[in-house]
Amino acid sequence: MVAGCDFPQEITDSIIDCLAHDRGALKSCALTRRAWLHRSRHHLHRKVALDGNIYRRPDYYSTPAAQHIRDLKLVSPPQPPRSGSVDQSGTWTIISRFTEINTLTILYSSWSGESYKYLAPITNNVTHLELLVASFGNCDEFFAFVAMFPNLQSLALSSLTIGSPFGRQSIRIDPPSRLTSLRYGVHFQHPAIAQRIADWLSYLPRTTLPHFSLTWKAPSHSDLTHILKALGPRLAHLEVPVSPSSDDVLTGNFTPRLQSINLVVNGDFTTDHISAASSILSDITSVDVHKVGFLCNGTSLIDLDVQALQPIDELFSHPQFEDLQNLSFVFSGKSCTAEVDKPDVLADSLARNMRRAKSRGILSINFN
C-alpha cells in the first residue's frame, strides 16, 4: 500500500471492528500489515475454548496473543502439578497467560485442597464466572475458590457437588463484594450445605438500594427459602420456575424490596401452573414491584386456559402492585410453531382476560 494512502490508525481500527464476526477477513487483515495485526488479534482471540483432554504445546498461545482473550471456556482442566513438578499437560502453563479475561466458563472440573490456586494468575479481571459440573471437597474450598475473583459480578452454578458443609478449620470467607447476580442451578442432598451457602451470601454488603438478581434454575425449591432469607432487602430481581408444587415459594420469606419477578413456565401452561403463579404473586410483600413477566417456554397454545388467568389479573388491584409498569407474556419454543393464526388468537384472548392490566396500559405479549 502506498504510504500516502494510509488512514489514521483510529479509522483503520474502526473498519476492522466492523469485521469482528468475520474470522476469514480478520485473518487476512492480520497477515496484510503489521499495523493491522493488533486490532485483528483483538477480535480473533477474544473468545477461546481450551480442552484439558487435548495436549497443547506450552507455546500454544504466545503472551501477546493471550492478552487479547476476554472470554475463556475451560473444559476438563487436568489436576495441577504438584509443587516442584513440571506441567506435563501444558494446560496450566498456557492458562497463566490469560490475564485479561472477563468471562470464565469451567466445565467438568474437580478441585481439592488448594489446587484452585493455579487459576490465581487469571482471576483478577474476571467479572462473570460459570461453573458447570464442578466438585469441591467442602464449602470452605468452594468459598475460597470464588474469593479468588475480587471483581466478580455474576456467578452461575450448575451441577455443583460439595462433599461436606465444613472443612477442617472453617473460617469466615466473604463473597466478592461486587457480586450482584447469581444463577443457581444446583440441589444439595445435605441441607447444611445449602444453609452454608445462604450464610455466605448474607455476608454481602448491604446497600441503600436493592441490586441483587437471583435466577433459580434448581430442580427443587427446597433451598430457595434459605437463599431468599439470606439476601433479604438486597434482592431486586427474582426469576423462578413455576410448577404445580411451587405455590409456597415465597411464603414466609423476606422480600420487602423486590422490584421485578419473572415466572418461568416450561411445558404446558395449565390451570395448576396459573394457580401456583397466583399464589407466588400473592406472597410478594414488596410495594416496589414495577415489572412482572411470564416466560413461557414450549407452551402449547391449544391447552392454555386464558380464562384461568383472571385471578392473576385481579391481583394487580392490590396495593403492592400500584406501581407496576409492565406485565409481559413471552412465548417461545413450541408455541411459536403452532398454526399461523394461533398467536394472534392467543394475544386477543389474553387481552380480554387481563382487563385490568390492559386498561392500565401495562400488558405486553411477545412471541419469539
Residue 220 corresponds to which cell in the numbers above?
Answer: 427443587
H or E element in which residue 103 lies = strand 103-111
- The answer to whether 361 touches 325, Cβ cutoff 8 Å, is no
Q: Which CATH fold would you assign to the domain 46-206?
A: 3.80.10
H or E element in which residue 139 lies = helix 139-147
Q: Is the pLDDT of residue 4 over 50?
A: no
pTM score above 0.75: yes
| The pLDDT value given to residue 21 | 81
Q: Is the pLDDT of residue 102 over 70?
A: yes
| The pLDDT value given to residue 103 | 96
Q: Is the pLDDT of residue 163 over 60?
A: yes
Q: Is the pLDDT of residue 341 over 60?
A: no
**What does the mean pLDDT of the chain come to?**
83
Of the candidates 96, 28, 114, 22, the residue with the CA atom closest to the CA atom of residue 56? 96
- The answer to whether 308 touches 272, Cβ cutoff 8 Å, is no
Residue 125 corresponds to which cell in the numbers above?
Answer: 479481571
* d(C-alpha 164, C-alpha 97), whole Å: 33
Tens digit of pLDDT for each residue in 207-241?
777 889 999 988 777 788 889 889 988 999 999 98
Tens digit of pLDDT for each residue in 105-118?
999 999 987 788 88
**Mean of pLDDT values over 171-181:** 92
CA distances from 288 to 78, 229, 241, 245 (A): 48, 18, 21, 27
Tens digit of pLDDT for each residue in 41-50?
777 778 888 8
| The pLDDT value given to residue 149 | 96
Q: Which of 80-84, 160-164, 267-271 has the lowest mean pLDDT?
A: 80-84
